[in-house]
Amino acid sequence: MSERLESELAQLDKAKTEYLASFSDYKLQVDTYFTDEKPFLKQLQEKGSE
């Protein structure tokens, strides 16, 4: 693999990891403090699994 491609893949992997951590934090906040946002959270989860 070329160095540039490896760099791009590493950046994508890092972004995915950061996104998943942020989403997990958001889910915890919704479950704990913002329960009225649960329908929106569910919609985000469904769209994310497509």
Give me the pLDDT at residue 25, please. Answer: 97
User: pTM score, two decimals?
Assistant: 0.77
The one-letter amino acid at 23: F
pLDDT tens string 5-38: 999 999 999 999 999 999 999 999 999 999 999 9
Q: Which residues contact 48 (CB under 8 A, 6 or more apart)?
A: 23
Structure tokens at 28: 């915890």
Give me the pLDDT at residue 49, please. Answer: 72
Structure tokens at 3: 């160095």
State the DSSP string of 2-41. Answer: -HHHHHHHHHHHHHHHHHHHHHHHHHHHHHHT-GGGHHHH
